[in-house]
């Protein structure tokens, strides 16, 4: 059996090696390493895929979130509502800009923002909401956008884990994750569903004026060369990474289907096991399974993780300490936030390997190992 990885990037690369190598070689020969043709072409192709007017590439997903908040002219002291159950970058950039993170709880099934909790947390200082499409499940965007419109708030989608996901509105219309809020942000970190071979990110918007501001902020605040209208940053996707992403973007739906097939197999295998809650798939969210994250009940998570490791099965805990309980947010009163669902989930969740190259032998071994630990194998 091929060794099991959480994400097997080497096997994925092997399948597209000729195309990727040729694309990289083309960049090398052009010597257009920064803002080369591959960057613009990738942006245009991603715009078409997402059905959105503007894609602005940048250096990474964290930069994308920061640039979004800077482009919206959020000011020190402004409040930004966000989940605590997420990768730290979501809340980190809020604090970095001297804004105030306001942590709210998540839905216990989808792990995404609880819309009712969001509305309760709104104050006169609230300026934006940052929903996170966690693990590949799209947050419940229709009611969230309605709450935002009611209170005149911006919505910045953290779409680092759900690119390619779909959200279906009550009228039957469908939009891509990241293309619903005022700004969408994503990461092209190598392990993402659409990942490059280094760091990379992008912002999405349908607002022309906002797109112009984002481009300006991402490029030293320049409106024209050497004319700086606002304080900005230096954040760009390099041409080599764009070239890789151009090869992988046409394969994204195929990659998603492969991940969903693995998730289907896990779902079926664990369906009758009371010790496991499998990932929920809301009817209005097309889950793209960046992670396959289960909840454990009545089982020792750390012992399971060690047992799996002993049987050559990696497993990860995303995320063992929520943002509101991190030391970096103590001065924002982090631990005073009452987030019972978040606190409960962080003691129960564990993610199993899921990727585009997983074969039946690997999948069977993972399932057998989990069932063996939980004493759920037939005699």
Assess contact for 85 and 158: CB atoms under 8 A.
Answer: no
The H or E element spanning position 95 is: helix 89-96
Per-residue pLDDT of 144-198, as tens digits, reads: 999 999 999 999 999 999 999 999 999 999 999 999 999 999 999 999 999 999 9
Question: If DSSP codes are grouped into helix, strand and coil, which group holds residue 70?
Answer: helix
Assess contact for 68 and 101: CB atoms under 8 A.
Answer: no
DSSP string, 141-205: HHHHHHHHHHTT-EEEEE-TT-TT-EEE-TTS-EEETTSSSSEEEEE--TTSSS--SS--EEEEE
Question: If DSSP codes are grouped into helix, strand and coil, which group holds residue 141?
Answer: helix
Question: If DSSP codes are grouped into helix, strand and coil, which group holds residue 115?
Answer: helix
Residue 238 has what pLDDT? 95
- DSSP class of 356: T
Residue 379 has what pLDDT? 46
Per-residue pLDDT of 81-108, as tens digits, reads: 999 999 999 999 999 999 999 999 999 9
Distance of CA 119 to the CA centre of its chain: 23
Assess contact for 94 and 80: CB atoms under 8 A.
Answer: yes
Question: If DSSP codes are grouped into helix, strand and coil, which group holds residue 104?
Answer: strand
Torsion of CA 178, 180, 181, 187, to 10 degrees: 0
The H or E element spanning position 80 is: strand 79-83
Residues in the chain: 379
Assess contact for 71 and 115: CB atoms under 8 A.
Answer: no
Q: Residue 110 is encoded by which pair of tokens?
A: 């989808």
Distance between CA atoms of residues 211 and 201, nearest Å? 15
The H or E element spanning position 276 is: strand 276-277
What is the pairing mode between strands 100-104 and 79-83?
A: parallel
In this prediction, the residues of the chain whose per-residue pLDDT falls under 50 are: 379
Question: If DSSP codes are grouped into helix, strand and coil, which group holds residue 286?
Answer: strand
Assess contact for 162 and 176: CB atoms under 8 A.
Answer: no
Distance between CA atoms of residues 20 and 45, nearest Å? 17
The H or E element spanning position 120 is: helix 115-121
Residue from 303, 342, 286, 329 nearest 168 by CA: 286
Question: If DSSP codes are grouped into helix, strand and coil, which group holds residue 379?
Answer: coil
């Amino acid at each position: 059996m091929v060794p099991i990885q959480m994400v097997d990037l080497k096997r994925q690369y092997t399948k597209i090696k000729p195309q990727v190598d040729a694309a990289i070689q083309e960049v090398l020969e052009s010597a257009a390493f920064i803002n080369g043709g591959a960057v613009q072409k990738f942006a245009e192709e991603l715009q078409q895929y997402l059905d959105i007017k503007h894609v602005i590439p940048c250096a990474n997903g964290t930069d994308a979130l920061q640039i979004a908040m800077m482009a919206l002219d959020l000011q020190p002291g402004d409040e930004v509502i966000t989940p605590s159950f997420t990768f730290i970058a979501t809340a980190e950039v809020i604090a970095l800009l001297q804004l105030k993170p306001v942590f709210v709880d998540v839905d216990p099934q989808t792990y995404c923002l609880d819309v009712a909790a969001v509305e309760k947390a709104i104050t006169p200082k609230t300026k934006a909401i940052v929903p996170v499409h966690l693990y590949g499940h799209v947050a419940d965007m229709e009611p969230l956008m309605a709450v935002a419109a009611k209170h005149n708030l911006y919505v910045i989608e953290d779409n680092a884990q759900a690119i390619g996901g779909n959200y279906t509105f009550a009228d039957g219309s469908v939009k891509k994750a990241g293309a619903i809020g005022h700004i969408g942000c994503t990461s092209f970190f190598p392990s993402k569903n659409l990942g490059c071979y280094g760091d990379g990110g992008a912002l999405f918007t349908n607002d022309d004026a906002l797109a112009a501001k984002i481009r300006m902020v991402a490029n030293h605040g320049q409106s024209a060369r050497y004319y700086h209208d606002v304080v900005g940053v230096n954040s760009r996707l390099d041409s080599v990474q764009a070239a890789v992403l151009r090869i992988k973007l046409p394969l994204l739906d195929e990659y998603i289907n492969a991940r969903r097939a693995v998730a289907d197999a896990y779902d079926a295998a664990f369906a009758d096991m009371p010790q496991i809650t499998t990932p929920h798939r809301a009817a209005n969210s097309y889950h793209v399974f960046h992670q396959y994250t289960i909840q454990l009940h009545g089982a020792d998570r750390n012992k399971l993780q060690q047992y799996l490791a002993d049987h050559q099965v990696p497993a990860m805990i995303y995320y063992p300490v929520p943002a509101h309980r991190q030391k970096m947010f103590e001065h924002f009163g982090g631990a005073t936030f009452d987030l019972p669902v978040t606190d409960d989930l962080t003691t129960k969740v564990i993610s199993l390997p899921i990727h585009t190259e997983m074969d039946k032998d690997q999948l069977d071994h993972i399932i057998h190992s989990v069932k063996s630990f939980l004493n759920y194998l037939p005699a």
